[in-house]
Structure 1
């Protein structure tokens, strides 16, 4: 009896201490999450170096981390600096009145009067809709610009988080296999199931990060290039925004290039508008429709509609990290139910 009481007391204390430790780490969850993701993505390189150089964990982890910084971290830093600069310039142009979202909407109304007629037939007051949309566009534009300015002002915080992420990544690369075995030993759900779940975690993380980032980079680059060719202001800024929005399957980048095309039609730039619409639908859209199923859906073994809903849901709950966390939770959900149907239902049938 006493032994059972001691066991329950220990488990309660263990749960309380674990929860408290989780709250202590809460400010660093993004850095920890991305350290895990980077370690998972670059672990094949770590294994390759171990075969070529030998079992020298510190050296292999340092070389892997250096390559990661050269091909990922440093380019992202330079791109972020250019993004912040263009965002500040956009904010200044909105604040000075050089760019007037309300005037842009009036031009759209004059160019497409059929929309007003359709709204009236549906019993909707076009003026109310116009005022609401104008206010929303102005608020969104200034919010975007101000957030960009805030990113520039929070550079120190960003670099602290980046340093913590890279520091943890080094140890995860060096000791990843030992930590995995330690977790498998600690978790009381069965070694085979734990190996299966860890394997699914690795597969989905690798597929969603690499796949979605490749699609985002391709769509952002394609969008930025066509904006630059058509002389649309702040092409780099809008290219980066399209890259972020492309993390949402099916509709992402179109949230930028489609309204831009409509505005070009409204201002009489028919050739540029037609080029942008055709380019967006065929070239940018093709990158999403072809690359995403190959790079994400195939490796995660998730249906396209599950990837879509889990990505949108993940982003709404966890912010930018959600484009990985959402599909990861969905994949683990399906994997655990598969284990349940295979193991537990089988045992129930046998009994």
Structure 2
């Protein structure tokens, strides 16, 4: 009786201390999370460098981080800085009246009277929509402009988080396999199940990050390029916005180039509007339809509808990190239930991941 009480007390304290430790790390969640992502993404490169340099773990980890900085971190910092500067310029255009959402809405009403009639039948107030569009443009552009000022003020904090992320990534690259072995030893789930779950975790994280970021970068780059070629102001700004929206499956970049194409048609720029529609549907849309299933759905073995729902849910709960965390939770959910079905209900035919993915397609 005494031994059982001591064991339960210890387990209770273990849970409390673990939760307190996780709460302690909450302010650094972003840095810790992306350090883990870097460790998973660049682990194969690190292992090749270790073999090539005969077991020099520290040198291999430093070389791997250098490659990561050159390929990912420095370009991301440049894009973020340029994006905020473009947002500040947009705010100035809104304030000076060069960019007037209300005037744009009026042009759309005159050019497409059918739309106004449909809205009237549906009891939708266009004046209210025009007011909301104006307020949204002012609010969003002001937000970007304020961040342009805060970027300089928050430089120390930003680079401190960046340094922490790189510091943690170094140890995760160097000591990752040993940490996995410690977790497998500590968790009471059974070694085989734990290795299966850790494998799924690594597989989904790599596929989601690589796939979504590649699709987003290609779509955002193509969108910004066509905006620049057509002479649309703020091509870099809208390219970055399209890149961020491309993280959302199905809709993505069309939320930007679609309304812009309609506006070009409304003001009589038929050639530009038709070119943008054709390029958006045939080129930008084709990238999403071809690359995302190949890079994300196939490797995560999740059906398209589950990728969409988990990504949207991840964005709602975790912000920008949700495009990785959402599909990861969905994949672990399926993995846990597959283990349960195979081990605790063996008479039931196990659900094959590939079959589930094919059904989703």
Is 1:278–2:259 an aligned residue pair?
no
1:312 paired with 2:349, answer no
1:338 correspondence with 2:346: no
- The Cα shift of 1:120 comes to 2.0
Counterpart of 1:183 in structure 2 is 183
| Shift, 1:103, TM fit | 1.3
**Aligned equivalent of 1:64:** 64
Task: Summarize deviations over 1:193-243 as a string: whole Å, max 9, x none.
Answer: 000000000100000000000001000000000010011111111101100
Q: Which runs of 5+ in 2 are unaligned?
A: 349-361
Q: What corresponds to 2:154 in structure 1? A: 154
Cα distance, 1:133 vs structure 2: 4.0
Residues 123 and 101 of structure 1, relative CA distance in 2, 3 Å threshold: closer
Deviation at 1:111, TM superposition (A): 1.3
| CA–CA separation in structure 2 for the residues paired with 1:177 and 1:13 | 28
Q: TM-score, normalised by structure 2?
A: 0.92
1:99 equivalenced with 2:120 (yes/no): no
Change (3 A) 1:220 1:326: same
TM-superposed deviation, 1:142: 3.7
Cα distance in 1 between the residues matched to 2:95 and 2:333: 47
Larger displacement relative to structure 2 (21-30 or 92-101): 92-101
Cα distance in 2, alignment partners of residues 141 and 110 from structure 1: 27
- Matches of 2:347 and 2:267, distance apart in 1: 69
Equivalent position of 1:266 in the other structure: 266
Find the aligned partners of 2:219 and 2:149 in 1 and give their Cα distance.
24
Distance 1:15 1:230 in 2: 59
- Aligned counterparts, 1:91-240, within 5 A: 91-147=91-147, 149-151=149-151, 153-240=153-240
| Alignment match, 1:10 | 10
How many corresponding residue pairs?
349
After superposition, where does 1:17-96 map in structure 2 within 5 Å? 17-96=17-96
Aligned CA RMSD, in angstroms, stands at 1.8
DSSP-derived class of the 2:346 partner: helix
Which residue matches 2:351? Answer: none
Moved more, 220-229 or 95-104: 95-104
Distance apart, 1:40 and its partner CA: 0.1
Q: Is this contact kept in 2: 1:94–1:142, CA < 8 A?
A: no
Distance (Å, rounded) in 1 between the aligned partners of 2:250 and 2:205: 20
Contact 1:105 1:134 (8 Å CA) reproduced: no
Give the TM-score taking structure 1 as reference length: 0.95
